[in-house]
Amino acid sequence: MRSAVRLAAGDGFRLDAVTCLDDHRGWSAAELGSGHRLVLVRRGLFRRKADGRAAVIEPAMAYLGVPGEEEHFAHPAGGDVCTSVSLTPELWRTLAGEGTPTRPTLYVDARLDLAHRRVVAAARGGDTAFELAESLLSLIGTTLAQLSPAPTPASSGSRATEASVPGTAGDPGSPALGPDSPAAPGPGPGGPMPGPRPGGTDTDAAGPGASSAGDARRDRGAGKAHAAEGRPSPAGRSRGGGVPRSGAAIADAAREAIAADHPAAGGLMSLAGLLAVSPYQLSRAFTRELGVSLTHYRNRVRVGRALDRLEGGEPSLAGLAADLGFADQAHLTRTIRRHVGHTPAALRRLLTPHAS
């Protein structure tokens, strides 16, 4: 069962909170997309298939719907709550031009998540003509910058509109835009991997989720050994020589396990065991498909959960750190600041419904 509540409507756009309580693994009947809309998940997880291409959609992955496409949905996790931003054809052309995004899904980093939350807060504030419109344009502009290979009217001017979103380039107190900021075009499923971060010191990019030359050498050696023994190489196959699995399928399964907080999702080795793939295969496939490492993605999910709690007025940062599995409050603060550009205390103020 699906229901929608209108949050706000303005000149050329509509903002709805959509709740789905379906609980089924099979695909729904076909639906035809009625317009351009950006859908971001607040809670839950579901699968979407559009024009034959399937994707897992959860708080760290959004999608863009376009008119006339055939959509199917499946809800294996029990339901979800989303924000749907619908645009008129005229506003869409103004923001995106005449081009069509090259892919329908995009990775939602923590800064884009914060921009989404600020849009919802602005809708509650009631200033539709200015505060909401300005926040919405920044959100759409940074989204289009990730989805389109060429500049669009909105994305090419997004650095100017970002001044309304704390923690982006327009905020004088924020760090410079990096590869995980919403205005920096980033790869999504099927896109190219980004280059290494300057200096190679980003702890989210390094570690178990990042590919390495050593991994490649070990995999080549393993492949030769299997060939010499007359057995197929494990690359691209599940453990035990099962049916080959695509990198996208492996990454989707890993995201579902992390989103569900499965006990095996607490470490790379246990997660690979759950998915019946090698740790090297999981690490490489995930980074190739998402453009970020497993380590970075897991921290992004934890930061999203922290934002939920801060938005609700969480009083104890030490308790929040313990609940989310951080070593201590300092570890929580460092991770949140790296992903969002603000401390937890500053975010609590920004996400307060009556914040100015």
H-state helical runs in the chain: 89-96, 110-125, 133-147, 153-156, 158-161, 213-228, 247-259, 268-275, 279-290, 294-311, 317-323, 329-340, 344-350
Give Cβ neighbours of residue 294 (< 8 Å, ≥ 6 apart): 208, 209, 254, 268, 271, 282, 283, 286, 287
In this predicted structure, what is the pLDDT of residue 84? 96
200: alpha, beta or left, given left = phi > 0 and alpha = psi -120 to 50? left
Query: How many residues would you count in the chain?
Result: 356
In this predicted structure, what is the pLDDT of residue 287? 93
Give dist(CA 329, CA 26) in Å, integer: 42
Tens of pLDDT, residues 134-185: 889 889 888 888 876 667 777 665 443 333 333 333 333 333 223 333 333 3
Extract the tokens encoding 195.
């280059």
63 phi, psi to nearest 5 deg: -140, 155
Bridge partners of 43, per DSSP, are: 81
Query: How much is the pTM?
Result: 0.69
Give dist(CA 2, CA 206) in Å, integer: 41
Query: Which regions in the chain score pLDDT beneath 70?
Result: 148-150, 155-244, 353-356
